[in-house]
């Protein structure tokens, strides 16, 4: 480190110029980073759950390509309303990238004439004045393909369905569609209150909100950190140096993400505040050491070299262990967790590199004697005096401190026991946002919109169009409708039942299924002759597979998985000779949450193992290893307990909190232990070294904790509930880590009284 420091001090301008050139090159890729949200992107390509979903996509088309527009009125079935609906529908059809548009004007009734099947639209714009609206309402609200799809059962709410072309279903194209439909609807907003929903719409609105929030995180976090640094240092350089380091770190990390094919989503969006805080923490520790040397009367050159010698390796160690904590997420089977872990780990190491390159060169060029101006405020003297009293408290009452720590840990362990695993599709969005209000409109007024798909494979051509298959599909529908979370089920049997009703001239309330294979085959032929679009959405090309879709509430992964497990027993009984695949967007979301638990446990174990190995190599003393690890486990217990008490479930967006907690806790512990090694070398006695460490390093730990809380505190304002909760939990973790490092860590030293020898070469 001496040789490196000499080079920096000899060529400071060259070093600064090199960083400026690299930063300018990083601007373009960073500006082109994209933001996306895609449930399929959470899975590795060969995951069985994703493969099942791809079967649905290939055989029947996607279940996430429709945008819904809904509104309600007690007078839907009137000439005025239907005329407006026709105009809206026709104008929506002109929007680019749409495959089709469905509304009540495209709804068709099935008719029978001379043993022939025919389809006729319910509505005719030339006959609106002669229409019996009461009879029309009664007929349409009992149509199984309209009720819960385009109309509710009371005829007071309706939906328009926009189907996007599969090849055009991209973020920019969806934005174009959404902007165009908003223009169309704006002309009718004085008469109707419109609600827009659907997975494609949600994805784009989600991304747009995320883009705004990422900019907000960076801006607000930066302002808060700047104000805090000014309060602490009261000098221009004390603010400028750390902020240049963190902004450059963020720029390089985002550029690297873009160049390697990464993008921003709900997890990676929190990389910004993490790197802002971690980068500032490194700078604060090194600036504190530099100012300590200057205060002791050493010249600038010696102080910079001493800063690099003593804290260069310590900061490298803290950055490495923090990076290991995040990199452990690479073991996850959830792709965004892997990317979040990778890019955050890389960003942490970049923050270290930029700090040890930029800070010595900048300090060398600056004309100020010290970065900190202690005379301008009473904060530093207050911290210094408080830490002196704290060191005495730990020395005299370490047993009471440890007993208090055990009691607090036991309390949070109670909360940890109530922690549950559960996630919803709309889990990250606050209930008071327009997106959630619109989604609730469809769930409350029309029907739930989240598809639970069943693909029944008979294994042979025409095996899916037998009377037995139709009967068993109807029995499955009955079983599914017993669940309160499911309100609507449609399948080929629904279509065949409707055709049979028409052909048999039955009343709709008494409709039943045909009882022979020949009748089913005849109805299929009639539907083929009429080129029924509905038929080909429910069966594959050779009639070996049939599709049944149940529409569920956003009930949460725990409940959806319970329903899936329970219904699998029924499927084994109803379809013993067929292969049944349960899939759909709902299953993608539910299965993803289950994967989180295994990934989380495994990544934390990996991180703790790696950190323990580093501790073994560093201290080679079992008692010191215990002393080092215990304060790092306490914040994990605290954050888990708080989640349990607050009924915050483990889900994709909150699982990473534990990794963040571990990374932050380890950082301060290693800074404390590294400083202890230095003080022990000077004093050759444990207890005086502990007192000096608490006073000197405690100040930097308190400052970095304040900065971390300020940075992560900005997340609390997020419209994403999981991000806001992350802000609350991470701030709680930082506070818990601060208490553990200042109280528990030194008290463990006094209790365990480790015996060790640190040679002069260890410095």
User: Does the pLDDT at position 190 exceed 80?
Assistant: yes
User: What's the mean pLDDT in 3-13?
Assistant: 85
- Distances 700 to 31, 366, 672, 707 between C-alpha atoms, Å: 34, 22, 10, 11
Q: Are 237 and 726 in contact (CB under 8 A)?
A: no
User: Does the pLDDT at position 266 exceed 80?
Assistant: no
Q: What are phi and psi of 490, to 5 degrees?
A: -135, 150
User: Does the pLDDT at position 347 exceed 90?
Assistant: yes
User: Does the pLDDT at position 509 exceed 70?
Assistant: no
pLDDT at res. 411: 94
pLDDT at res. 760: 43
Lowest mean pLDDT among 356-360, 613-617, 631-635: 613-617
User: Does the pLDDT at position 8 exceed 90?
Assistant: no
Pairing of β 157-164 and β 545-552 = unpaired
Residue pLDDT, tens place only, 67-99? 999 999 888 898 889 999 999 999 999 999 999
User: Does the pLDDT at position 260 exceed 50?
Assistant: yes
DSSP code string of 133-195 = HHHHHHHHTT-TTTBTTTB-TTSSEEEEEEEEPGGG-SHHHHHHHHHHHHHHHHTTTTT---E
User: What's the mean pLDDT in 230-235?
Assistant: 80
pLDDT at res. 763: 38
Q: How confident is the model at residue 238 (pLDDT cuts 50, 70, 90)?
A: confident
Give the chain's mean pLDDT.
Answer: 84
User: What's the mean pLDDT in 618-622?
Assistant: 70
User: Does the pLDDT at position 762 exceed 50?
Assistant: no
Q: CA 589 from chain center: how many Å? A: 12
Dig out the tokens for 625 from the structure. Answer: 């290893």
Residue pLDDT, tens place only, 705-746? 888 888 888 888 777 777 788 888 888 888 998 898 899 989
DSSP code string of 18-76 = HHHHHHHHHHHHHHT--B---GGGGS-TT-HHHHHHHHHHHHH--SS-EEEEEEE-TT-
DSSP conformation class of 11: -
User: What's the mean pLDDT in 198-224?
Assistant: 82
Pairing of β 116-121 and β 66-72 = unpaired
User: What's the mean pLDDT in 334-355?
Assistant: 88
Highest mean pLDDT among 325-334, 374-383, 591-600 belongs to: 325-334
Residue pLDDT, tens place only, 428-447? 777 778 888 888 898 888 88
User: What's the mean pLDDT in 416-428?
Assistant: 79
Residue pLDDT, tens place only, 115-164? 778 888 999 888 888 888 899 998 899 888 888 889 998 999 999 999 99
pLDDT at res. 483: 93
User: What's the mean pLDDT in 509-515?
Assistant: 76
Q: How confident is the model at residue 41 (pLDDT cuts 50, 70, 90)?
A: low
User: What's the mean pLDDT in 385-390?
Assistant: 90
User: Does the pLDDT at position 748 exceed 80?
Assistant: yes
Q: From CA 431, how far away is CA 646, in angstroms rounded?
A: 17
User: What's the mean pLDDT in 641-658?
Assistant: 82
pLDDT at res. 757: 57
Residue pLDDT, tens place only, 211-222? 777 787 788 888
Q: From CA 304, how far away is CA 388, in angstroms rounded?
A: 27
User: Does the pLDDT at position 275 exceed 90?
Assistant: no
pLDDT at res. 761: 41
Residue pLDDT, tens place only, 518-545? 999 998 988 888 877 788 889 998 999 9
pLDDT at res. 539: 92
DSSP code string of 500-566 = HHHHHT--GGG----SSHHHHHHHHHHHHHTT-HHHHHHB-TTSSEEEEEEEE----HHHHHHHHHH
Residue pLDDT, tens place only, 555-607? 888 889 899 999 998 999 999 999 999 998 888 888 877 777 667 777 777 77
């Amino acid at each position: 480190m001496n040789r490196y420091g000499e080079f920096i001090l000899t060529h400071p301008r060259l070093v600064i110029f090199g960083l400026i050139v690299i930063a300018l090159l990083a601007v373009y890729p960073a500006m082109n980073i994209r933001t996306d949200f895609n449930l399929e992107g959470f899975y590795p390509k060969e995951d069985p759950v994703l493969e099942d979903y791809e079967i649905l996509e290939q055989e029947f088309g996607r279940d996430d390509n429709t945008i819904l527009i809904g509104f309600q009125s007690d007078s839907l079935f009137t000439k005025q309303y239907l005329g407006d609906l026709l105009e809206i529908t026709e104008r929506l059809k002109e929007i680019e990238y749409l495959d089709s548009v469905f509304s009540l004007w495209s709804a068709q009734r099935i008719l029978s004439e001379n043993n022939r099947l025919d389809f006729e639209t319910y509505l005719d714009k030339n006959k609106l004045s002669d229409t019996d609206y009461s009879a029309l309402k009664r007929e349409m609200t009992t149509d199984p393909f309209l009720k819960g799809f385009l109309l509710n059962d009371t005829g007071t709410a309706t939906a328009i369905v926009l189907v996007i072309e599969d090849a055009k279903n991209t973020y920019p194209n969806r934005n174009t569609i959404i902007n165009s439909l908003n223009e169309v609807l704006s002309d009718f907003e004085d008469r109707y209150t419109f609600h827009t929903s659907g997975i494609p719409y949600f994805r784009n609105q989600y991304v747009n909100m995320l883009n705004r929030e990422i900019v907000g995180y960076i801006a607000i976090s930066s302002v808060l950190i700047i104000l805090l640094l000014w309060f602490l240092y009261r000098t221009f350089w004390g603010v400028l140096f750390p902020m240049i380091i963190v902004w450059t770190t963020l720029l390089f990390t985002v550029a690297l993400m873009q160049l390697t094919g990464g993008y921003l989503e709900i997890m990676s969006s929190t990389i910004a505040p993490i790197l802002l805080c971690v980068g500032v923490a490194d700078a604060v520790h090194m600036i504190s050491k530099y100012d300590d040397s200057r205060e002791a009367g050493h010249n600038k050159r010696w102080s910079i070299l001493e800063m690099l010698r003593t804290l260069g390796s310590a900061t490298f160690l803290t950055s490495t262990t923090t990076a290991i904590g995040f990199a452990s997420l690479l073991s996850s089977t959830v792709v965004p967790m892997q990317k979040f872990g990778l890019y955050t780990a890389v960003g942490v190491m970049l923050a270290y590199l930029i700090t040890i390159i930029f800070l010595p060169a900048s300090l060398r060029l600056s004309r100020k004697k010290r970065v900190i101006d202690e005379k301008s405020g009473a904060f530093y003297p207050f911290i210094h005096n408080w830490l002196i009293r704290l060191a005495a408290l730990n020395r005299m009452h370490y047993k009471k401190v440890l007993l208090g720590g055990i009691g607090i840990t036991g309390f949070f362990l109670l909360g940890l026991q109530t922690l549950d695993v559960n996630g919803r599709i709309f889990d990250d969005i606050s209930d008071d946002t327009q997106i959630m209000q619109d989604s609730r409109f469809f769930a409350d007024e029309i029907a739930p919109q989240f598809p639970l798909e069943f693909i029944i494979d008979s294994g042979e051509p025409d095996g899916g169009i037998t009377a037995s298959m139709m009967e068993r599909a109807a029995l499955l529908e009955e079983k599914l409708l017993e669940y309160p979370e499911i309100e609507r089920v449609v399948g080929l049997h629904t279509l065949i039942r409707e055709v049979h009703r028409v052909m048999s001239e039955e009343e709709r309330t008494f409709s039943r299924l045909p009882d022979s294979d020949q009748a089913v085959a005849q109805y299929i032929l009639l539907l083929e002759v009429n080129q029924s679009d509905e038929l080909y959405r429910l069966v594959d090309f050779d009639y070996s597979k049939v599709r049944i879709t149940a529409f569920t509430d956003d009930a949460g992964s725990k409940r959806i998985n319970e329903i899936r497990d329970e219904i699998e027993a029924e499927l084994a009984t109803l379809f013993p000779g067929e292969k049944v695949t349960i899939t759909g967007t709902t299953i993608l979301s539910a299965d993803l949450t289950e994967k989180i638990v295994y990934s989380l446990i495994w990544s934390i174990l990996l991180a703790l193992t790696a950190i323990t190995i580093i501790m073994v190599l560093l201290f080679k003393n079992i008692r010191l290893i215990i002393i080092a690890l215990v304060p790092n486990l306490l914040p994990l217990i605290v954050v888990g307990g708080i989640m349990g008490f607050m009924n915050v479930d483990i889900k994709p967006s909150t699982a990473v909190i534990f990794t963040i907690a571990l990374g932050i806790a380890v950082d301060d512990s290693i800074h404390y232990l590294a400083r202890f090694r230095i003080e022990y070398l000077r004093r050759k006695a444990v207890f005086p070294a502990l007192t000096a460490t608490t006073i000197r390093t405690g100040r930097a730990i308190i400052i970095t904790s304040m900065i971390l809380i300020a940075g992560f505190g900005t997340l609390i304002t997020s419209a994403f509930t999981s991000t806001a909760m992350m802000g609350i939990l991470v701030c709680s973790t930082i506070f818990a880590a601060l208490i553990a490092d200042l109280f528990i860590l030194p008290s463990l030293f006094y209790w365990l009284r480790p015996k060790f020898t640190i040679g002069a070469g260890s410095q």
